[in-house]
Structure 1
Amino acid sequence: MKSMRNNNRGLTPQSTPTKIPLSQRRLKTKPALTLLGILLLGNIFWFVLWLLPSGEKDSSNEPVATIDGDKITRQQWLSEMESRYGKETLQDLVNEAVMEKASEKYDINVSKEEIELEIALMHSAQDTTDTSMENLTKEQLHQKIRAQLILEKVLAKDIVIKDKQTAAYYKENKSLYNIPTSYRTSIIMLKSKNDAENVQKELKSGSEFSVLAREHSLDTASASLGGDIGYVTADQDGVDRSISSAVQKLKKGEVSGPVSLSDGRYALLQVLEVNKGQEFTYEEVQGHIARELAMEQLPSTIAPEVFWSEFKAKWYYGEAQ
């Protein structure tokens, strides 16, 4: 099923994977997996705040939609949002606040460089179908990562990892820290070159790439996202070589001409963002490696909620968890 889906998106089947050490798999995937469950909640929270009335006028009965004359009021809408997402969003906010308290009590510092390292590693490990990172603003993403790093540092503070362990790990997995330039890419996949040229004319006449992707792209998975297929690198497995080659020639915001794919179809590509490649030295990632190795000695289910009682956290849904 996976290879069939990839071929439908202009991707080539993956080669047989080599056996990867547990620590290496965790290092590449853990930051993205940890944040995946909370990315959407952060956006929902800020969206609800934006909807709340800023003036003195009571707008709770203001209609936000009408159906055959029947109104749906702002209060009904917000109440429904709260019932569906309120608990998770509030829990996320409490966790962030608790982690800030923990950083003060245990004298935990998180530098900008540490956050940027995590973001770079997340981009390098991100699957092309995973666009969850783009659901947050830069500030929101930084705050999520900061809270996660505080949690990990507090949990790992009493675990001793020797320098020879981190040095050996870096030597064995140095390629993880040599991150290639990545291109956040959108695609419109079409049956023929003629179809691609016709869509290209619509783009030149002023039509939005994302709109045309939803209307015309044969790749239904990315079409629903306005064509967004996430980050693509030059030698990325599972990506049609024509795509990875074409994006390297584009600047941010540029759109390619028709690109011939290995399966006979054609694609138009747009580069939304370019993240320049980075190579991290051992000194730059030693702390990261030590923390990751320490975390592997702890249960994977540990979450910020374990600190709620310590910092007397109470919330709308009950006492500290």
Structure 2
Amino acid sequence: MKYGRNLEARPASSQKRKLKTKPLLLLIAILFAFNVLWFIGWLIPDADKKPKQTGEEVASVAGEPITREQWMTAMEAEIGRETLLELVNGKVMEAAAKQYAIDVSDQEIDLEVALIRSVDGRSYTGLDIEKMRQKIRSNLILEKVLTKDIVVEDDAIDEHYEENTSLYNISTAYRTAIIVVATKDEAEQAVDELSKGSSFDVLAKERSTDLASASLGGDIGYINMSTDAIDKNIVEVAIDMKPDSTSEVVALSDGTYAIIHVSEVVEGQTFKLDDVKDHIKRELALEQLPQSVSPEAFWDDFDAKWFYGK
């Protein structure tokens, strides 16, 4: 009897196990189906992510299409070579820094930025501060590589500083952009559009008659009270402006009119000999080189190749 009772109990236990197994099997089936669907979705790219066809129309004139391929070809012809050259040279200089264990600190870049603002504020027009700093970094690496074995006496450094103290006494600089137009009415219209939210950059490109700055969104770089390459009326107005502010109409000496935007104000500072000693040493060392050297001179050293060949 005891044996029989055990035989009768076994089907009931098996049934309970089956009941408990069903939810688990259902869960496994759901997870399997989800994984299959995910895998299929991963294999089939989203339509929005498909690369644009070169024949895609990006504009048209009188029904005549301008294709993406035409657009990209024109941009490459205009700025492609210079942009790629800058990228390659930047990579080459970083490789040189690693090869020769050369370090460039943020403080060194800060000094160069300050000196550029003081001496030639238009050197990096059209560049934001980060791109400007990156170009300065690459240039510093190049200079350090070229001068690493050149000896410059301390007396020469001291003498240079004493003779050029004014270069290291830097005035407050104003990052400035302008829109120049022929008439006062045009200038007032531009001011009105700016007050309603129009982009200064866009208006400069569309309206400004100063072609050199118009292509850069009006940017004329850093100016200060001693800047003499810019209309004095622009300088006088700009040095009284606050960061991220736009002027009213300004009459220029040649009879045209301008609107001025100051995006940044960098306070002046004075650098002592210890602050600029390495900079002066590098400048004097560069003067001893027989000729100027560009980053391209190092391309073979670091196996640099590019689309345009030699």
1:116 counterpart = 2:110: yes
Question: Where in structure 2 are the equivalents of 1:1-321 lying within 5 Å?
Answer: 55-83=49-77, 85-126=79-120, 130=122, 133-187=124-178, 200=191, 203-206=194-197, 209=200, 227-237=218-228, 242-257=233-248, 268-318=259-309
Instruction: Check 1:183–1:59 CA distance in 2 against 1; reply closer, same or farther (3 A cut).
Output: same
Cα 1:218/1:68, change in 2 over 3 Å: closer
Unaligned runs of 5+ in 1: 1-53
Tell me the CA shift for residue 240 of structure 1: 5.5
| Matched residue type, 1:125 | V
- CA 1:135/1:106 → structure 2, altered by over 3 Å: closer, same or farther? same
Larger mean CA deviation between 269-278 and 73-82 belongs to: 73-82
* Closer, same or farther: CA 300–65 of 1 in aligned 2, 3 Å: farther
1:114 partner letter: E
Cα 1:198/1:292, change in 2 over 3 Å: same
TM-fit CA distance, 1:110: 0.7
C-alpha contact (below 8 Å) 2:213/2:220 kept by paired residues: yes
Post-superposition shift, 1:239? 5.1
Separation (CA, whole Å) in 1 of partners of 2:209 and 2:86: 37
Query: How large is the RMSD of aligned CA atoms in angstroms?
Result: 3.4
The 2-side partners of 1:289 and 1:150 are apart by 15
**What stretches of structure 2 of length at least 5 have no aligned partner?**
1-47
Identity of aligned residues (%): 49
Task: Tell me, in whole angstroms, the C-alpha distance in 2 between the residues paired with 1:214 and 1:86.
Answer: 21
Partner SS, residue 176 of structure 2:
strand
Q: Counterparts of 1:210 and 1:305 in 2: how far apart (Å)?
A: 34
| Deviation readout 1:179-209 (Å, 9 max, x if unpaired) | 1111123445678988876765555455555
TM-score, normalised to structure 1's length? 0.67
Identify if the C-alpha distance between structure 1 residues 93 and 264 changes in structure 2 by more than 3 Å, giving closer, same or farther. closer
Amino acid at match of 1:272: S
- Relative to structure 2, which stretch is displaced further, 192-201 or 93-102? 192-201
Quickly say closer, same or farther: Cα 1:78–1:209, change in 2 above 3 A.
Answer: closer
Query: TM-score, normalized by length of structure 2?
Result: 0.69
Supply the distance in 1 between the matched residues of 2:293 and 2:184 (Cα, whole angstroms): 52
Structure 2 distance, partners of 1:91, 1:263, is 38
Decide whether aligned partners of structure 1 residues 86 and 221 sit closer, same or farther in structure 2, where only a CA change above 3 A counts: closer
Q: Which amino acid aligns with 2:89?
A: N
Q: Which amino acid aligns with 2:247?
A: S
The amino acid that maps onto 2:145 is V
Letter in 2 for 1:183: Y
Instruction: Considering fraction of residues, name the structure with more helix.
Output: 2
Higher relative contact order, chain-length normalized (CA < 8 Å, sep 6+): 1
User: Partner amino acid for 1:62?
Assistant: E
**Distance 1:83-1:164 versus aligned 2 partners, 3 A rule:** same
Contact 2:126 2:219 in 1 (8 A): no
Q: How far off is 1:292 after superposition? A: 1.0
Deviations 1:8-64 (A, max 9, x none): xxxxxxxxxxxxxxxxxxxxxxxxxxxxxxxxxxxxxxxxxxxxxx93434333222
Larger Rg: 2
Q: Deviations over 1:140-159 (max 9, x none)?
A: 22222211111111110111
Task: Report the more deviating stretch, 73-82 or 219-228.
Answer: 219-228
